[in-house]
Amino acid sequence: MKRSIIVGNWKMYATSIADAHILTTSIRNHVADIKDVEIILAPPTIWLSEIAQILKQSRKTRLAAQNMFYEPDGAYTGEISPLMIKEVADYVILGHSERREYFSETDLEVNEKVVAAIKAGITPIICVGEKTKGSTIGQPLKELQEALAGISKTHHKDILVAYEPIWAIGTGKNADPAYVAKVVTKLREVVSVHTPILYGGSVNSSNIASYADRPEIDGVLVGGASVRAAEFVKICKIWSETKSLQPRAKEVK
Ligand code: PEP
């Protein structure tokens, strides 16, 4: 069966350990019975260890870091290495547009991080997307090709891709699901059938069903709405219910 994945990117929200605790516990308790969807929480890195403890008994919810450095160790003040992330999380978001914009991350750095994540046994969630609505899909395609430079196809099952048009992130202007499906189909040519491709950009409980309706889309990356527990849980439930109404996708060989 095809995987269904929902990632909650907390960005730099949940600014106290108490808030992070309440949010995690509430999500953990309410998603336990949701079927056939993998849930990944990406809190601020400083809360990862604490949250890993809260989720210890939960087989449903996994953890992601929001970023990492590509060197395994060394004199890199302020950075966090793949080996450190691996202790507490299974996934890492890489190449998020906010990192590309505010921290000048380049395609080459994203590629170095993707290589380092795979080497460390962490699944990278590679974010790609165009800046302007209506532009060609050249930018996300190029970003994905460059992120995967030098990575053999055998590793494509070890990555996740998130198509996140920048104009849709945090703007309330979510992309048309039919358009997203078209872009996802194009991105799919670069990766393997085993690579889940998600959509991200102003996803909420009112529009989630329209993405779940598209068989091309394997999940969503949720930003702002993921730090409101009830809203995030609702997104996960609607996704699961909508997918369950569709004919079961065959096992991909
Ligand atoms: C994101 O953080 O990648 C994101 C998609 O944010 P939002 O859902 O708030 O648009």
- Tell me the pLDDT band of 106, cut-offs 50, 70 and 90: very high
CB atoms within 10 A of CB 194: 14
Q: Nearest 5°: phi and psi at 39?
A: -115, 130
Q: Which fold has domain 5-244?
A: TIM Barrel (3.20.20)
Q: Is 98 in the pocket of ligand 1 (CB under 6 A)?
A: no
CA atoms within 13 A on the CB side of 152: 2
Ligand 1 centroid to residue 9 C-alpha, Å: 7
Which residue's alpha carbon is at the smallest distance from atom 7 of ligand 1?
223
Asked whether residue 223 is marked as a ligand-binding residue, the answer is yes
CA triplet 219, 221, 224: central angle to 5 degrees? Answer: 140
**Could you give the dihedral angle defined by the CA atoms of residues 125, 130, 134 and 135, in that order, rounded to the nearest 10 degrees?**
-130
* Percentage of the chain lying above the pLDDT 70 cut: 98
Take residue 165 and report the two structure tokens written for it.
């048009």
For residue range 70-91, what is the model confidence (pLDDT) as tens digits? 999 999 999 999 999 999 999 9
- Do the bridges between strand 61-65 and strand 38-42 make them parallel or antiparallel, or are there none, so unpaired? parallel
Instruction: Give the lowest-confidence range in 75-84, 146-155, 191-200, 238-247.
Output: 238-247
pLDDT tens sequence across 107-118: 999 999 999 999
Residues 91-106, mean pLDDT to the nearest whole number? 98
pTM > 0.85: yes or no: yes
Distance CA 68, CA 94 (A): 8
Q: What is the pLDDT of residue 249?
A: 53
More confident residue, 11 or 58: 11
How far apart are alpha carbons 135 and 141 in whole angstroms? 12
